[in-house]
Structure 1
């Protein structure tokens, strides 16, 4: 009986852990022109880029595989920008007024950034778009603008961040030489640089669609580690909420409320899954050949051209075979036997 009870408790613990580790998509700010259904169903990872594309007015190659998207009421008031904050790890993010959507993970979330970015690049030239992404404490740009975000080194960002008023409450309760604290300060300083300089970039460019994507990784080691006191974790959580609130206020004011602000909680994968993925990368897998994206168009063009030429040659040959070889025909004139007989 005790063995059965232990097994049941273990299963319940696993289920609870799975529920806790579920990723979520939070819409912190959404224009009134974009409407969702009152009941928000879970969304697949592969549909997140499609959903964000629809909010910006992009057409999709196929219909959205998420039934809770209602409509766009005013096509003349479409958002001009999308700000996405991807929280990597356990955060338990809570923000008032958000529309929360559970994510059914079918692939890595970062792949949705690539899809979203490519769609924007296909629709707007580099002069008419601003694309920024924060990754590994650096902001990567994909525009014809000066990249002034990464002028400071990490040591300079750390020294400047330690003096920021917003971080003083946290820094007064932790060891400032702690590795995780240093990473947090550097990452936050980079984000604050963005908030201070994005206004100047916006005024220098006549952009039609702007994308901002931030991979925030430094909060999770503090919020999900027992070596930090509960008071420190509470301060860090409040600091995260304040950061999201400041980013939302600045970006909505900059774009006159024509902006979409989302927060994606990307939970950690199972260590066993990560180990299996890494092990599979080292193996010589029997994978299919990767073809060029234009392969099907080239194949169809060459195939139909070849068939058309073959049919044309066959038709011409049959027609010439049935021509009457009179003295006024091309067959008579081009035949060598006719020349001998005339001589």
Structure 2
């Protein structure tokens, strides 16, 4: 009777049809083992990927700290440690996507994204940044000034590099600017029904502000389509925490949270399709959904611009000095003059070493004749 009561209690707690219960006898005691097969955890979803990027479908878990390495590999860069993860197969050596877009959604473990390439469970969801990948892009393609954009609207954290400063100059970044943008023509408030969401609640406005930022990014790229056709890959890193705030204020079972989750899923699906199309079907778009990070991360903005030794104090980017067109001429003059002088010294030293004063020195002969005359 006690075991039956325990089983009924467990079923009432989980209320899931796919919870399996195994009851065994061991050492004359009852042991209850639960296997919740339907529980979903944090995940990494590949929304869009070029044909030459081979993402294999499966349930291979990926550690959260390895996400920057995964992004670097998809963009064709090498990493310090090999990523022994079967989800990404080796692709062509001379092909790389024109852009990589990573969206981190906090406050939810999974989103309904049916039109995705593949989805993988995420384990050890520690906080991370793509600073290392941004530095690779900047150092490798510095002459092409690629677009590097890292944005977290809720924290008003923005980092732009290269052509991003010109493209996203009008992008609202502070919460006050984004909320003002929501009241203007063409805002996302007219694109979908708000249902239980309110335009006056702070948590709701934070979520809607993040949706507005996604819309404005694609709208601004529409005006600068030529940037998606250059020879340098672009990097986008976005962090959205509106769902986390809605969950904290209203709870996960609230209609506001459910409506926001549905809206964000459809918006992200369209955002991925737009970015993929803007870059000529050569962009990788990933979505990381995590309830909460295990450890807080403190980062310093513009960290990739810092350098211990700056070769050119007048430039904050640690660039080399600019040389004029006479540099090559002066360099060749100095180089060949030094070579001629070195050869002359060698010839003179060799002749002096092998000289016989009795036969080769006129001074010796003149002195000898003068002595004989005396």
What interval of TM-score do these two structures reach, taking the shorter chain for normalisation? 0.5 to 0.7
Q: How far apart in 2 are the matches of 1:156 and 1:41?
A: 41
Which residue among 233, 242, 264 is the counterpart of 2:266? 242
Residue number in structure 2 paired with 1:82: 100
1:123 paired to 2:140: yes
1:148 aligns with 2:169: yes
Deviations 1:131-181 (A, max 9, x none): 001113444312253351445763343243246564355545333221101
Alignment of 1:221 with 2:238, yes or no, is no
Cα pair 1:158 1:189 within 8 Å, conserved? no
What residue number does 1:262 align with?
286
Provide Cα deviations, 1:77-115, integer angstroms capped at 9, x if missing partner: 42110011100122531211321111221x62323x122
Q: Alpha carbons of 1:152 and 1:269: their partners in 2 closer, same or farther (altered >3 Å)?
A: closer
Query: 1:49 maps to what in 2?
Result: 68
Q: Which has the larger radius of gyration?
A: 2
Structure 1, 118-127 or 220-229: larger mean CA deviation: 220-229
Q: Distance in 1 between matches of 2:172 and 2:250?
A: 35
Flag the structure with more relative contact order, 1 or 2, with Cα contacts below 8 A and sequence separation at least 6.
Answer: 1
Alpha-carbon separation, structure 1, partners of 2:113 and 2:282: 20
Taking the aligned partners of 2:133 and 2:290, their CA distance within structure 1 comes to 17
Q: CA deviation at 1:262?
A: 0.3
* C-alpha separation in 2, matches of 1:180 and 1:71: 43
> What is the CA-CA distance between 1:185 and the residue it aligns to?
2.3
* Equivalences for residues 27-176 of structure 1 within 5 A: 27-72=46-91, 74-90=92-108, 92-98=110-116, 99-105=118-124, 108-111=126-129, 113-125=130-142, 127-137=144-154, 138=156, 139-144=158-163, 145-146=165-166, 147-150=168-171, 154-162=175-183, 166-168=188-190, 169-171=192-194, 173-176=196-199
2:216 to 176, 189, 193: 193
Per the TM alignment, residue 24 of structure 1 is displaced from its structure 2 partner at its CA by 1.0
Per the alignment, residue 277 of structure 2 pairs with: 253
- Higher helix content, 1 or 2: 1
Measured in 2, the distance between the counterparts of 1:152 and 1:25 equals: 26
Count of matched residue pairs: 268
- For residues 87 and 152 of structure 1, the distance between their equivalents in structure 2, rounded to whole angstroms, comes to 18
Q: Which range moves more in the overlay, 182-191 or 259-268?
A: 182-191
Match of 1:23 among 42, 55, 65: 42
Root mean square deviation of aligned Cα? 3.7
Structure-2 change in CA distance of 1:157 and 1:165 (3 Å): closer
1:179 is aligned to 2:202 = yes
Q: Distance in 2 between matches of 1:88 and 1:239?
A: 15
Q: TM-score, normalised by structure 2?
A: 0.60
**TM-score normalized by structure 1?**
0.65
Post-superposition offset of 1:194: 1.4
Q: CA deviation at 1:71?
A: 2.2
Q: For the residues of structure 1 that align with 2:252 and 2:72, how far apart are their CA atoms? A: 40
Note the alpha carbon deviations across 1:240-294, whole angstroms, 9 max, x for none. 1221122112111111111101000122146xx77xx99xxxxxxxxxxxxx99x
How many angstroms apart in 1 are the aligned matches of 2:173 and 2:58? Answer: 46
Where do 5+ consecutive residues of structure 1 fail to align?
279-291, 294-343
SS in 1 for 2:274: helix
Over 3 Å counting, the alpha-carbon distance change for 1:54 and 1:238 in structure 2 is same
Q: Distance in 2 between matches of 1:182 and 1:104?
A: 31
